[in-house]
Amino acid sequence: MTTDPLSWLVSLEGVPSGLAAARDSIDVVLRDRGLRRTSPETTAESLLRGAHASAVLEGSVSSVAQVRAGEGDALARDAVRLSSELLSLVPTLRLAPLQALARLHALAAGSTLPAEELGRPRDAAAADRLRGLADLLTSSADSPGLLVAAVVHADLATSTPFASHNGLVARAAERLVLVARGVDEKSLIVPEAAHLALREQYESNLRGYATGGDSGVHSWLLYVIEAYATAAEASPLRRDAEG
């Protein structure tokens, strides 16, 4: 009998086949380009596109051109600062996930909150929620990486454990899990851009996750399956192939 706390989600209607199809969509993009080397610049472009999209979802009004030129608003700068150190946290996420989540918040909110609030939960209930999420990350080794990333994202976004920047942290954590679980080791797909492109569905399904019980979780997973296919299409690799 499995002790993986997410195992029940894999049996929900449409989830196993949907996750497999989403993974195939991602693998097609990555494998098709696997015949040639991808550069650090491609990863950097993916991270930048993701930072811009995440910032817009958080309320930024900066364009991707402004973000690329370092001229974005405060939220865009926060998102870029977070993305610039994101991949360095992969080993920390694997070994000390609670520390990794705290670091994500410290990076995102470093220009806004006082030092004593960076990486710290809002209250005791938020601290318990973060510990539970960290435990989930260490005990869900048998679950598909896409599933784990989706749950981590939604849990952080809806529980809002930090004093600010929870959306940025949630979307960064999603990308980090995808890298750490081997779905997208070079971080070349852009899930944040997919959530922006599907914004109405994204926000609606997050609300459902927060208030809809098991059915809300199920609907969120079905949404994310669609979003991950869109994230693959948003990869800079697609642009390189077309250009």
Mean pLDDT (whole number) for 116-138: 97
Q: How many domains is the chain partitioned into structurally?
A: 1
Residue 241: pLDDT above 90? no
At 35, the pLDDT band (50, 70, 90 cuts) reads: very low
Average pLDDT of the chain, as a whole number: 94
- What digits encode the pLDDT tens for the residues 219-233? 999 999 999 999 999
Question: Which residue segment(s) compose the domain that 61 sits in?
Answer: 7-242
62 in a structural domain:
yes
pTM confidence score: 0.95
Give a yes or no: residue 193 inside a domain. Answer: yes
Give the integer Cα–Cα distance in Å for 166 and 86. Answer: 15
The span from the CA of 87 to the CA of 92, in Å, is: 10
Closest to 119 (Cα-Cα) out of 133, 137, 132, 100 = 100
Task: Say what the pLDDT of residue 31 is.
Answer: 82
Q: Is residue 1 part of a domain?
A: no
Q: Nearest to residue 153, comparing CAs of 141, 170, 167, 166?
A: 170
Residue 94 is assigned to a structural domain of this protein = yes
pLDDT at 182 exceeding the cut of 50 = yes
Nearest one of 94, 113, 93 to 103, comparing CA atoms: 93
Neighbours of 36 (CB within 10 A): 8
* 8 pLDDT higher than 90: yes
Q: What is the pLDDT of residues 43-65, one digit of tens each?
A: 999 999 999 999 999 999 999 99
Nearest to 112 by CA among 152, 68, 153, 82: 82
In a domain, 83, yes or no: yes
Token pair listed for 184:
């997208």
**CATH value at residue 150:** 1.10.3290.10
pLDDT of residue 126 exceeding 70, the answer is: yes
